[in-house]
Structure 1
Amino acid sequence: MNNSQSFKESLALDAPDEQLPFILKSLWYDAKGDWKTAHDLVDQLPGSEAAWVHAYLHRKEGDNWNSDYWYAKAKKTRPNISLEAEWESLVTYFLAT
């Protein structure tokens, strides 16, 4: 899977591709409406990239204080874009890395 269109098409499946990294699996579950599984997948992952997805998930949850904490750990600031646009940018970024 190398582009956001094929990633989005995979949302029709019952489970994500086993080859996907945990961060992309998290975003997959988020898009399927399973916030808890999405959060559980990144909750204990180290690094700023996992923190970025963690921040997005808490922003989506509506917990801005917690999301700002995770954005800071990711060396980012909370974006002033829709959640859908942020999800799209995250998927595009992580598919390219």
Structure 2
Amino acid sequence: MKYADFLTSQTQPEPPAGLSPILEALWYAGRDEWHRAHTIAQDNEHDAPHNWLHAFLHRQEGDAGNAAYWYRRANRPVFNGSLRREWEEMVRNQLPD
């Protein structure tokens, strides 16, 4: 799937089949369905990419302290750009080349 296809898929009522948990959570986060995205993040707290997802979601929620905790767990600095820019970077990072 290409980035443009991922964006287009967000107009559909459900995420495309076969997305990884991170991409599925980002799909929901991109539609401002925070709780659905966060549930996926909570179920997958086992590696740095999932912890980055969790950090982003808390940043999206407006909880900077909790986001900072998850950035540390992900071994990443707190993202200083816009939420949309971070979301795009995460999606592109997860899509195959």
Name the TM tier (shorter chain): over 0.9
Give the whole-Å Cα distance in 1 for the aligned partners of 2:75 and 2:91: 18
Structure 1 moving runs of 4+ over 2 Å = none
Q: Give 1 or 2: higher helix fraction.
A: 1
Deviation of the 1:32 alpha carbon: 1.2
RMSD (CA atoms): 1.0
> TM-score normalized by structure 1?
0.95
Give the whole-Å Cα distance in 2 for the aligned partners of 1:36 and 1:23: 14
Deviation of the 1:96 alpha carbon: 2.9
Aligned to 1:37: 36
Which residues of 2 match residues 82-97 of structure 1 at below 5 A?
Answer: 82-96=82-96
Does structure 1 residue 74 correspond to structure 2 residue 79? no
Aligned to 1:8: 7
* Number of corresponding residues: 96
After superposition, the C-alpha distances for 1:52-93 in whole angstroms (9 at most, x for unaligned) are 000000001111110000000000011110000000000000
SS at match of 2:10: helix
Identity percentage of aligned residues: 36
Q: Which runs of 5+ in 2 are unaligned?
A: none
SS at match of 1:51: helix
> TM-score normalized by structure 2?
0.95
Q: Which runs of 5+ in 1 are unaligned?
A: none
